[in-house]
Structures are given as C-alpha cells and as structure tokens.
Structure 1
C-alpha cells in the first residue's frame, strides 16, 4: 500500500485528480522472466491505428475519475496478438472514456513475449498483468475506489490475458480481478488458437499439462469473476463463438454475465463506431458496472 501523509498526501491526491500518470511496473532489477537484450521499443501504424512493438519496459498509466466517482477501477489490457500493443484505440481512448464516467482506469503497456528478451516468454504478459493489478489496487485509498472493486478489461489477445487472470488461480488475492470485460476476447482453445499460442506466446509446442491449463472454458467455475462480453458476428479473426461459449459456461456455473453481440463490427473496433452501432458498448459497460 502506498502511504503518503500530510501536505504530500494533499498534493499527491490533487495531482492524480486532474492528470494521468505513467509509471514503471517494476523497480530496477525486478522484472521476472527477463533477460538482457538489444530490443528497442518503437511505434508503428498498423491496422489503421498506432501500436507499440518490442515493448521491454512495461508501464501502467493511471487516469483518475472525473465527475461522480463510481468507486470502481478497471485495468485495461490492449490487444495485438502478443506481437504488439494496440495501446491507443484499445487503451488510452478507453481510459479517457471511462474516467469521464467516474471510473478509475489504468492502461497496461505489457512486455511483448519474445525469446530474445525472456527465458519464459509465455509468463511475461501474465506477470505484468498481475503486477499491474496489485499496483492499481495499492492506489485505492488515494483515488477513491474500493480495493475489492477492481476489474480488468481486455481486447482480443488482451481479452485472452484478462480471461487467464480470472481463471488461473493465484495465491495472492490482489492478483485476481473482481470482474472482467472481454471485448472480442479469446477464450476457446481451438486448433487455430493453439497454433497461435505456440507461435506467438510459448514459442514451442505446449505440454499436455499446458494444453489442459489453456483449455480455459473447462476452468470456469462458480468463483469465476462476473463478466461483460462484447463481440461482432462478422469478426473473422476471433470468432463470435469465443464469447457465446464463455457466456454459456458462466451461466452454467451461476456466474453473472451480460453479453452484447453486434451484427457488424469486424475485429478490433476498440471503443466502437457510430456507423455500425458498436459505439454503444462503452455506455452499456458503464451501466453494467454501476449495477454490479
């Protein structure tokens, strides 16, 4: 827990109330599964949006709530296929929208899993996400949200990571989200998804135990965090069944779930577009979160 007293507390609180701040996720020498490398982070226009590649120094950018504080916080995990971080349209844009609705938002810039920079690349995004959840929770008193009201919002591959956060049990309760929002997320271990994980996350064939661990739909139980799910029927990258199957599993286990499916939207629509109606989901999520 971050503890600041007296005048310093006042300025800390005022600072966060009116700005956003980017902070390193790990102290020097603490990054797990890290090995020395020559990678340099850079920005590139891809899929019609600015993205970050070769991320080796993860950060958390906090957006303080504006207006009426809901007392809730969301860790936002952008997508990018574990090959890049689509941090603008699936990160900062959403944080701005949520903070305007009184929700504290933290945008995670997580390390890209690569053999060049890690001895266990498949553990890199998960360790960064868990650390981000702990760091965000440590700010609950200063930013005015409940430490037990912190969820995660993931897009595409970020949705896969958000699902893993909720389903892979951690001994540290601060590493487990209280709710999740999966926006065209990955939940099913189809043949295509298995190939993707082996090529872009593990960089090797999964063991029999790892296949079992990554069959996420089989891990859903009554303790799984409540979920808000969004998808488009014409998504040809992450099929809509990834959302509908996950929703069915949650219902089977009596876990609260709200699902919104759009006829048109494709993949990677971020905060959405007015021309196809996908821009409705952010307001729907805010409404769901207030009722949760």
Structure 2
C-alpha cells in the first residue's frame, strides 16, 4: 500500500547548495502529547537545514488522540520521507529523527521499533538511522512524566502497556545510535530518563553520546540565551558531522 503524504508535515530544505541526495531528519516537537510546541519545530528545522540536512517537522496527533495515533503518524512520515515519491533529494540510507520531551519519547519508540499495530507501518523502513533526543520522556515506569502517560495512554494503562511504551526496556543491538542531552535540574522530566536510555544503549553496544548540563528549565528548545544548554546545537552538529551527516563545509553552530 502506498504511503500517503502525511498531514501537518513541514519541509525545510538543506541549505548546502548541493543537488546530491542529502540526509534528512524528522523533527518531533514536545508538548506532553497534549500539544506540539512551536519553538521546538520550525526553528529547529532551520538549524538543521543550515547544517546541510533536509528537515521535516511533524505535527503528530495529540490528545484526545491516544496511542497508537502519534506513533502511526511518525512511522508514516518516516516511510514517506525515505520512500522518495516526494521528489526531494533525500539519501534513503540516512533518515534520522530528533525529538524534544514527549517528542523525544516518540522518537525513542520509533528507534526501538515499537509496533503501532498497522502492518503497512510496522516495517524496518520506519526505524530511523540515528536519533537525537532532547530532554526526552523515556520511561513510563520510573521518574515518569505523568502528563505524557495520561495524554497518550489514558488514566489507567496496564503494567504491560507501560512496559511496552518504556523505550529503555526495548533497546536492542539494532537500535540506532543516539545523541542525548538534558539538564540535571529538569523537574517535569527528570534526567533519569536520559540516563536510562543511555544505559540501555551501552548495554547493547549501541553508540551513544550524552550531555547533561547543570542548570536549565525544561523545554529549552535550541537553548538560546541559556548558558550551558546553548552549546547543545554545536555539540550535536559535531556529532552529526562525525557520522557523515552534517555538511563539512558549513558552520555547525
């Protein structure tokens, strides 16, 4: 079955002046599965485009829609980006995901091949080739962000469902490499979420880079004007460059 053009998907092309296929990253804004934050969408895509990466921002379904609606939206977007029917010069072997907070949870469930129940979407092409997780919600069991659980799963999810939706419990050796950052004093989404995912990646011999800054409120987006977190884009740009994604001739900041 052909994958249709996802609704609420914004495209910002790479600004590297090349016509050759470029890597692409799907941006998933946060918002506790109750909204998708504006400052974690298009501004982030503009930054990625400046690195020579095609960027797609997805306004996935949120409450009152529940699981598997957001995951289905994200998988559909990944397959559409990778599929090439859009005519954009995308390198199908370099399609990643970047998510903030609850969008980080969505990115992590994509990366750990969590099923959405649709055989047309639950395929390997929907799994990203790398992930960037920014102050992500990861666990639905420990150090939880209750608002994300309530919005995504409802008021009384089973323990089995909570485990299936805890990305750290579903990492395998085939989970893609990841870049993670968080602030140590993040109250809404405790930094333990980042640590849990990083530990799971290390246990499975998956490359991971982690940065924890001492201070900073939750939901910083690009981190501009916040000492410490304002460095994450530079660090991430260098990481993407080492993976061969960021254009080497463009500034990484």
Range of TM-score over shorter length: 0.7 to 0.9
CA 1:243 to 1:140, structure 2 compared with 1: closer, same or farther past 3 Å?
A: farther
Match of 1:60 in 2: 9
Alignment of 1:108-257 (within 5 A): 108-114=58-64, 118=65, 121-139=66-84, 142-169=87-114, 171-190=122-141, 193=144, 195-257=146-208
State whether residues 238 and 267 of structure 1, in contact with CA within 8 Å, keep that contact through their aligned partners in structure 2.
yes
Work out whether residues 73 and 150 of structure 1, in 8 Å CA contact, stay in contact via their aligned partners in 2: yes
Query: d(CA) in 1 for partners of 2:126 and 2:209?
Result: 23
- Whose helix proportion is higher, 1 or 2? 1
- CA-based RMSD of the aligned residues comes to 2.4
C-alpha distance in structure 2 between counterparts of 1:140 and 1:149, whole Å? 16
Q: How many residues align?
A: 234
Are positions 1:101 and 2:46 aligned together? Answer: no
Would the aligned equivalents of 1:113 and 1:122 in 2 still touch at CA under 8 Å?
A: no
CA distance in 2, matches of 1:156, 1:94: 14
Deviations 1:166-215 (A, max 9, x none): 11345412211111100000112235637435421122422243133123
Q: Which runs of 5+ in 2 are unaligned?
A: 116-121, 244-253
> What TM-score does the superposition give when structure 1 sets the normalisation length?
0.74
- What residue in structure 2 maps to residue 33 of structure 1? none
Deviation at 1:142, TM superposition (A): 3.9
Aligned residues of 1:68 and 1:101 also touching (Cα < 8 A): no
Structure with greater Cα Rg: 1
In structure 1, the gaps of 5 or more residues are: 3-22, 26-57
Q: Contact conserved, 2:81 with 2:90, CA < 8 A, in 1?
A: no
Q: TM-score, normalised by structure 2?
A: 0.84
Indicate the structure whose relative CO is greater, using CA pairs within 8 Å and at least 6 residues apart.
2
CA positional deviation for 1:24:
5.6
Give 3-state SS (helix, strand or coil) of 2:22's partner: coil
